[in-house]
Amino acid sequence: MPVLPGAAWELSPSVSLRPEPFGALAYDFVTRKLSFLKSPTLVDVVRRLADAADVEDALLGAGVPAAERDRYVAALGTLAASGIIRERVAA
Amino acid sequence: MTIAVERPQGGRLVDQFEYGLDAPICLTWELTYACNLACVHCLSSSGRRDPRELSTDECKALIDEFERMQVFYVNVGGGEPTVRPDFWELLDYAVAHHVGVKFSTNGFRITPERAERLAATDYVDVQISLDGATSEVNDAVRGQGTYDAALRAMANLQAAGMKDFKLSVVCTRHNIGQLDEFKAIADTYGAQLRLTRLRPSGRGADVWDELHPLPHQQRELYDWLVANGDQVLTGDSFFHLSAYGPADGSGALPGLNLCGAGRVVCLVDPVGDVYACPFAIHDQFLAGNLREDGGFDTIWKTAPLFLDLRSPQTGGACTQCSAYDSCRGGCMAAKFFTGLPLDGPDPECVKGNSETALAGDRERPGSSQDHSHTGTVRNAPVPLTLLRTRPVSACDESPLVSQQ
């Protein structure tokens, strides 16, 4: 599922993030899969997703420069494909 | 040297790992040195319980610490962990505190009832040890009746609906030819096959010369692993075999392909000693003790040994080798226990670079702890080769030698 800048996403409930100097480890307690987030800024973006209006908002909040937006949206797409983040259902 | 080394930003993940993490990724916790078996190659020289073993409360406090540090899962072993009367209580406690458990067992105590309970518990994985695809090969190493016990345990787990538990095999000279059979056994029980390397650690040092795979078998193993890919787990055991691939590292096996000791890996032993890796139970790789040195978090983050392992290593003679980027000089513990220099090639270097050193004079460090059974063990293995250790003198073979 592609991640659209205008959509709302969040960290999957079965996933925990552990901060590390290079970024973070992401562990899914259900699939027992360990993944790596390779930049502290990406970790910041992921953490902001749940409270942000949409992906765009989370990117802004984390201070991602406009020129790097696409790269971060693509990275979020990878995280979505492995189930680390999921699309938020409107409350 | 214990100065903190500045970590580079960005780059490959594997380079980041060499500088260590805030908590281990792969933590092994040997719960007890007690074991109902006496496998000839036991990494931890297990057999008898140590009276200083961590109490139930101490174990729970350690689990609390793992939870705080976000150690997401631990590999529990021994000895035979299920021998501890509080084993099932600790398992439940860990799971309730978001610390997943994968435990290794010989299967003797995995009854249909226990299997049901395991299948019903999330965050628990079981690893059944089997070192031969036939009872003849397995029992010679692990002891009489252990093949049947392992298969019975797997049948119980399967009947209980447990999926993807692990069938764990230590690769030896006698079972490399059975890899397809192991895979078939795993498939039969809905298990996943896991192959690991025979280490010259613990009692393994006594049998390594006779049991470690021969050079052509190493090649056979590497080709088999490449052919079977992600289907088979290896716990990053065989990164020294990656040197069979091209120098650009493209022949690397799945996994990190680096020595994680003290960087992403460590071992907590039954008495609370923290070692750099499960294959390095020796004073030289002891970082501290939970009771005496301020707890696990402090030891992991500040033990001089760990800081040292996280500073750039020289690689020694190996850095001149075209395969160094693939194998990174191999396994530290394997070098240490075979008496080879730590900055030289692995004793099973696939380029043959350790042959001269292995053939020459070398002093093996021996073990700094031994909990082996001293009396008779009911299931004691009868090795296919006659002697477990070389005779020290002719007297050991013939009591009459001095009379002649």
Residue A82 has pLDDT above 70, yes or no: yes
- B171 beta partners: B197
Residue B67 forms contact with A (CB below 8 Å): no
Q: Give the gap in angstroms from C-alpha A36 to the nearest C-alpha of chain B.
A: 8
Judge contact between B83 and B76, C-beta under 8 A: no
> Is A27 near chain B, with CB under 8 Å?
yes
Shortest CB distance from A16 goes to which of B25, B72, B122? B72
What tokens appear for B62 in the block?
């350690």
Q: With bands split at pLDDT 50, 70 and 90, how would you rate the model's confidence at B391?
A: low
* pLDDT range class, residue B254, cuts 50, 70, 90: confident
Is B53 within 8 Å of B274 (Cβ atoms)?
no
Instruction: Report the b/e string of B91-117 with b at 16+ CB within 10 A.
Output: bebbbeebbbbbbbbbbbbbeeebbbe
The mean per-residue pLDDT over the stretch B217-224 comes to 96
What is the chain B residue with the closest CA to A33? B72
- Of A69-78, B78-87, B259-268, B386-395, give the lowest mean pLDDT range: B386-395
Tell me what the mean pLDDT of segment B178-200 comes to.
98
pLDDT tier at B385, thresholds 50, 70, 90: low
Among the partner-chain residues A21, A27, A39, the one whose CB lies closest to the CB of B72 is: A27
Strand B73-77 to B265-268 pairing? unpaired
Nearest CA in chain A to B17: A22
Is residue B114 within 8 A of residue B157, CB to CB? The reply is no
Number of neighbours of residue B53 by Cβ within 10 angstroms: 18
The residue behind tokens 């075999």 is B241
Of the pLDDT bands very low, low, confident and very high (cuts 50, 70, 90), residue B247 is confident
Radius of gyration from C-alpha coordinates of chain B: 21
The residue whose two tokens read 């997703």 is A49
Which among A18, A21, A39 has CB closest to B7?
A21
CA distance B166 to chain A (A): 14
List, as ranges, residues 44-73 from A with C-beta within 8 Å of B: none
Return the amino acid letter for B52.
R
CA B67 to centroid of chain Cα atoms? 24
DSSP calls for B6-43: PPPSSS-HHHHHHT--SS-SEEEEE--SB-S---TT-T
Cα B140 to Cα B137: distance, rounded to the nearest angstrom:
6
Q: Does A33 lie at the interface with B, CB-CB under 8 angstroms?
A: no
Contact B80, B105 (CB under 8 A): yes
For testing the chain A interface, which of B69, B72, B233 should be mutated: the one with the most A CBs within 10 Å? B72
User: Is the CB of residue B25 less than 8 Å away from at least one CB of chain A?
Assistant: yes
* B404 pLDDT higher than 60: no
Here the tokens at position B224 are 């088999």
Q: Of the ranges A35-44, B10-19, B23-32, B264-273, which one carries the lowest mean pLDDT score? A: B10-19
Contact residues on chain B for A34, CB-CB shorter than 8 A: 25, 72
**Which tokens go with B396?**
């050991």
Average pLDDT, chain A: 93
Q: What is the DSSP string of B78-120?
A: SS-GGGSTTHHHHHHHHHHTT-EEEEEE-STT--HHHHHHHHT
Q: Any long-range contacts for B367-371 (C-beta under 8 Å, 24+ apart)?
A: B367/B45, B367/B202, B367/B205, B367/B281, B367/B282, B368/B281, B368/B282, B368/B283, B368/B284, B369/B45, B369/B281, B370/B45, B371/B33, B371/B34, B371/B44, B371/B45, B371/B46, B371/B47, B371/B48, B371/B49, B371/B50, B371/B79
CA distance A27 to chain B (A): 7
Q: What is the mean pLDDT of residues B302-315?
A: 89
Are A27 and B73 a contacting pair at CB < 8 A? yes
Using CA atoms, how far apart are residues B210 and B214, in angstroms rounded to an integer?
A: 9
Q: Which of A19, A29, A36 sits opposite B100 (nearest CB)?
A: A29
pLDDT score for B399: 52
